[in-house]
Amino acid sequence: MLSARFRIAARLLAVAALAALTAACFQPMYAERGDGTPGLREKLMGVELPQINKPNASRDARIGVEVRNALAFKLYGTATGMPPTHRLDIRFNSTRSSLIVDPNTGLPSTENYGIDCQYNLVEVVSGKSVMTGTTFARVSYDMPGSYQRFSRNRALRDAEDRAANEIAENINTRLAAFFTAGT
C-alpha cells in the first residue's frame, strides 16, 4: 500500500517538474509580444493581396474574388491592412467532375468541384520569393432534381464558395506558420 502511494506521488512530482520546465515555452501564436517585436497579427496585416489574374466575367474570376476576399478577411479581420511588407501572388485552376450519373436521364446527380492553387509570397523590399506552396480543395454537391437548372447552378455556386473558403483557410494557416517560425 505504501509503495503504491509512493509511485503515485513520484509520478505526480515528475509531471509537475515537466510542467514547470515547459511552462515558459508555450506562447499563443496571436498573442501580443512584450519585447516590442510585431506580433503575428501585425505581420499578417502586412501581406498585400493583388487581384487574381483571370478573364473578366468568367466563373473563375468570381471564384478568384471569393478566394481573395476570404483570405483578406482571415488576414486582416475587419481592418484594411497595413503598409505592405510582402505580396502574395495566387494562381489557381478549377475542375468539375460528375460522380454519379442517373442512368435514365444521363444527367449527373452528384458532382465534385475542385480548386488547385499555387501561391508565392514575395518580400516587397527585395522582390525575393520567401515562400511558395500549393494547396487544394475538393467539395462535392448534390443537384436536387435532374431538370432543375437554377438549383443546379446554386448548388455549384455554393460548392465554389466552400472550396474558395477552404483554399483561403489553408493559405492563412501556412502564412501564420511562416511568420511564426520563419520557415
Domain extents for the chain?
A: 39-181
Kindly tell me the burial class for residue 101, based on how many C-beta atoms sit within 10 Å of its own C-beta (0-12, 13-18, 19 or more): middle
* pLDDT score for 61: 95
Give the β-pairing of 86-101 and 47-48.
parallel
Calpha distance 103→156 (Å, rounded): 21
CATH of 39-181, one of 3.50.50.60, 3.30.160.150, 3.40.800.20, 3.40.50.620: 3.30.160.150
Tell me: the pLDDT tens digits for 10-65? Answer: 888 888 877 776 666 666 666 666 666 677 888 888 999 999 999 998 999 999 99
* pLDDT score for 103: 78
Calpha distance 107→130 (Å, rounded): 46
Instruction: Write out the DSSP string of 114-130.
Output: EEEEEEEEEETTT--EE
Kindly tell me the burial class for residue 180, based on how many C-beta atoms sit within 10 Å of its own C-beta (0-12, 13-18, 19 or more): middle
In this structure, are residues 54 and 60 in contact, taking their beta carbons and an 8 Å threshold?
Answer: yes
Instruction: Write out the DSSP string of 22-67.
Output: HTTT---TTPPPSSSS--HHHHHHTEE-PPP---TTSHHHHHHHHH
Calpha distance 56→62 (Å, rounded): 9
Chain-centroid distance, C-alpha 125: 25
> Whose CA is closest to 115, among 51, 57, 54?
54
Tell me: the pLDDT tens digits for 117-151? Answer: 999 999 999 999 999 999 999 999 887 765 677 88
Calpha distance 143→56 (Å, rounded): 27
Higher pLDDT, 6 or 34: 6
Give the β-pairing of 47-48 and 108-123.
unpaired
Q: Which residues contact 75 (CB under 8 A, 6 or more apart)?
A: 44, 45, 47, 49, 81, 172, 175
Region 149-155 average pLDDT: 83
H or E segment at 53?
none
Q: What's this model's pTM, rounded to 2 decimal places?
A: 0.79
